[in-house]
Amino acid sequence: MDNNDEVLDAWLAKLLAAFEIADIDVDVHAVLNLAGVAAHSVVRPAAPLTTFVAGLAAGLAAGSGQAGEGPAMAAALDLAKQLAAAQAPAASPASE
C-alpha cells in the first residue's frame, strides 16, 4: 500500500466516524475512478460534484429501503460513471 492509500484510508475512517457511519464499506478506488472519469469527460470541477451526487443518491436509495447500502452505492457509481463517460468529447480522427 502506498502512502496515498494509507492517507485516504485514514481520512475515510475519520470521515465515517465523524458522521457516525463507520460501518459503511466504501470502495475508495471506485469513487476515485468515477471522479477521474467525470474530470476527464466533463470538466475537472465535475469530479467532486459527480461523486457527491452519486453518494447522495446512494444514501437516499439505501435510506428509503430501495436497495441495500452496497448495491445502492454500486448502482449510483455505475450510473454516474456512464453519464460522465457519455459526455466525453468525440475522439478526433487520427491525422495521417
For 3-42, the pLDDT digits (tens) are 999 999 999 999 999 999 988 999 999 999 999 999 999 9
In a domain? residue 17: no
62 or 89, higher pLDDT:
62
pLDDT digits (tens, 9 = 90+) for 41-80: 999 999 999 999 999 999 999 999 999 999 999 999 999 9
Give this prediction's pTM: 0.86
Instruction: Report how far residue 14's alpha carbon sits from residue 35's, in angstroms, rounded to the nearest whole number.
Output: 21
In a domain? residue 67: yes
Q: Look up the domain containing 37 and give its range.
A: 25-86
In a domain? residue 92: no
DSSP state of 42: T
In a domain? residue 56: yes
pLDDT of residue 32: 97
Residue 37: exposure state from Cβ atoms within 10 A (0-12, 13-18, ≥19) = buried
Instruction: Report how far residue 60's alpha carbon sits from residue 84's, in angstroms, rounded to the nearest whole number.
Output: 21
Phi, psi of 71 (to 5 degrees): -60, -35
In a domain? residue 81: yes
Spatial contact of 47 and 38, defined as CB atoms under 8 Å apart? yes
How many domains would you assign to the chain? 1
In a domain? residue 52: yes
In a domain? residue 15: no
